[in-house]
Amino acid sequence: LSPQRLQAGAAGPLYLKLRQALEEAINSGRLNHGDALPPERDLADYANISRVTVRKAVDDLVRDGLLVRRHGSGTFVVKPVARVQQSLSRLTSFTEDMARRGLKTHARWLDRGLFHPSPDEMMILGLPADALVARLGRLRVADDMPLAIERACVSADFLPDPQQVESSLYAVLEERGCRPVRAVQRISAYNMKDPDAAMLGVPAGSAGLSIERVSYLPSGRVVEFTRSIYRGDAYDFVAELTLSE
């Protein structure tokens, strides 16, 4: 990032040269994934260029997903992700899926308690307005990488104490004899917005997947209605298709 190198060389806008220099620093590992970028003011002073130029180069790299701005804490180098290949034919839980890949999961709780159901929840779970539902909102993290935001809703009949769920909802449902055996899932494209994007560590506007899952007990009763946002840069959903007779 030396001022001489930036000023010298082929003609062209300074911000593009700075962008290229920063990109090289990231690709060569001089700037590591997760590292904070020096403040824009320091970069401008050091390279002897204007803050507007620095801002333009950084904006470009944020737009392309190489850097991410976190409110109040600065700009960071984005970690490239190994995509999760998720089967669409098995009814598994996030904890099980990650354990199978040797990853440790952890949750940041956004919501965990008993509430009266919203009209959507009443209709989908088949509950009266005076019923109670357990809502479990979590940022789901695997090996320190945030992957999804999930908001699960379960009738309090099945989960009277939501605090019982410390890591796996399905493990608790299994213990209580009401693990779902069938689910219908809808996946739609979604452009992420803040604060969700910020929680997932991606720029606002990044591609995401909005997923809804309604899962059932063997009796046909709905046990879970979950709305999630998955990172589009981290997931491939894979289904096996066969020719029907």
Binding site for ligand 16G (CB under 6 A): 93-95, 150, 152, 168-171, 211, 213, 224, 226, 228
162 close to 112: Cβ distance less than 8 angstroms:
yes
Task: CB nearer to ligand 16G: give 73 or 188.
Answer: 188
Which is closer to ligand 16G, CB of 155 or CB of 226? 226
Q: How far is the CB of 210 from ligand 16G (least distance, A)?
A: 10
DSSP string, 49-79: --HHHHHHHHHHHHHTTSEEEETTTEEEEPP
Alpha helices in 85-195 (DSSP H): 94-100, 119-125, 169-175
**Two tokens at 139?**
């940022």
Least CB distance from residue 79 to ligand 16G, whole Å? 21
159 vs 169 by CB, closer to ligand 16G? 169
Please list, residue by residue across 119-151, b when 16 or more beta carbons sit within 10 angstroms of its beta carbon and e when fewer do. eebeebbebeeeeebbbbbbbbbbeebbbbbbe
In whole angstroms, give the CA distance from residue 212 to residue 152: 10
Beta carbon nearer to ligand 16G, 158 or 170: 170
CA distances to 193, 201, 230, 239 from 233, in Å: 15, 11, 9, 18
- Least gap, CB of 93 to ligand 16G (angstroms): 3
CB of 226 to ligand 16G, least distance (A): 4
Task: Give the tokens for residue 232.
Answer: 């589009």
Q: Would you say 50 or 87 has its CB closer to ligand 16G?
A: 87
Q: Identify which of residues 55 and 106 has a Cβ nearer to ligand 16G in the complex.
A: 106
Shortest Å, Cβ 102 to ligand 16G:
16
Please report how close the Cβ of residue 170 comes to ligand 16G at its closest, in angstroms: 3
Residue 5: Cβ within 10 Å count:
11
Q: Which is nearer to ligand 16G, 7 or 87 (CB)?
A: 87
Instruction: Work out how close the CB of 245 gets to ligand 16G at its nearest, in angstroms, rounded to a whole number.
Output: 29
